[in-house]
Structure 1
Amino acid sequence: MISEHETVLRLLVAALLGSLVGMERERLLWGAGIRTHMLVSVGACLTMIVSAYGFQNSILQPHTVLDPARMAAQVVSGIGFLGAGSILLRGNSVRGMTTAASI
């Protein structure tokens, strides 16, 4: 089991790294700045922590079939959905590809 201190440390590191990417993008006046990247990073980190450690007691119960990896697999789909929402088509130009890739 992971300690509370390590959980908080992991979330803080995710927030720091996400905000660094967002700070660079905000400095260049591009979409999806500090808040967006920090929230996506912390949300993905928290979901992975819950997926990895949140169901340990349930798995030990007899006659329990549980696959915690399913939750982690949905993180990729959810972040892909956020990235796809940032791509815009205006006339013949497509905008937001770099923003989608950074998310």
Structure 2
Amino acid sequence: MTELDWPEILLRLGAATLAGSAIGLNRDLQGKPIGLKTLGIVGLSTAAVVLLAVEFAEPGRINDAASRVIQGILTGIGFLGAGVIVHESRGFRVSGLTSAACTFLAACLGIACGAGHWKIVLVALAFAFVLLTVGRRIERWLHRALGGNEDPHRPEAKPHTPPRGSG
């Protein structure tokens, strides 16, 4: 059994809370239905459960019990993400997928923080912010460059206005 000291526990739980909250802040600033508090709690709770499981493992190893805990977390997070999608669905139009994916990411970051894998947390968080910050612009640029159709139902898609004097 591994006994973690207070600074290590504070670091792992604090990092998970901050990572989840940072992703949540992005969602909140975008006006999405999930935000800083929710994803901060997702990161914190997953890290706490993994930390508890890691406490019973051999130093530096994830045992079978910890593996089952992680599997259970990810299954449960799937339901939370589905709730975000269903909440945002309008008719046959599905929305909220990015927020659901962010919920899953916050859980995964919480798991990584609970296990103490800091490099993975930092790289995943950096990639997430690149995608969340410039992903839509890259997507639009690729659609134009490759001749794809932009989704006209997206709120950020510019409405088609006929040229002046044509009717």
Higher relative contact order (CA 8 A, sep 6+): 2
What is the correspondence of 1:56-95 to structure 2 with a 5 Å cutoff? 56=57, 67-68=64-65, 69-88=67-86, 89-95=89-95
Q: Segments of 4+ in structure 1 off by > 6 A?
A: none
Distance 1:85 1:30 in 2: 13
Offset at residue 67 of structure 1 (A): 4.1
Q: How far apart are residue 7 of structure 1 and its match?
A: 0.8
CA shift at 1:4, angstroms? 2.1
Unaligned runs of 5+ in 1: 57-65
**Cα deviation digits, residues 56-75 of structure 1 (max 9, x gap):** 5xxxxxxxxx9413222211
Instruction: Provide the TM-score with structure 2 as the length reference.
Output: 0.52
Letter in structure 2 aligned against 1:44: T
> Structure 1 or 2: larger strand share?
1
Quick one: distance in 2 between partners of 1:71 and 1:25? Answer: 27
Per-residue CA shift, 1:14-62, capped at 9, x if unaligned? 1111111111111111110001110000011111111111x35xxxxxx
Q: Tell me which amino acid in the other structure corresponds to 1:83.
A: G
Aligned length: 94
Alignment of 1:5-44 (within 5 A): 5-44=7-46
- Structure showing greater Rg: 2
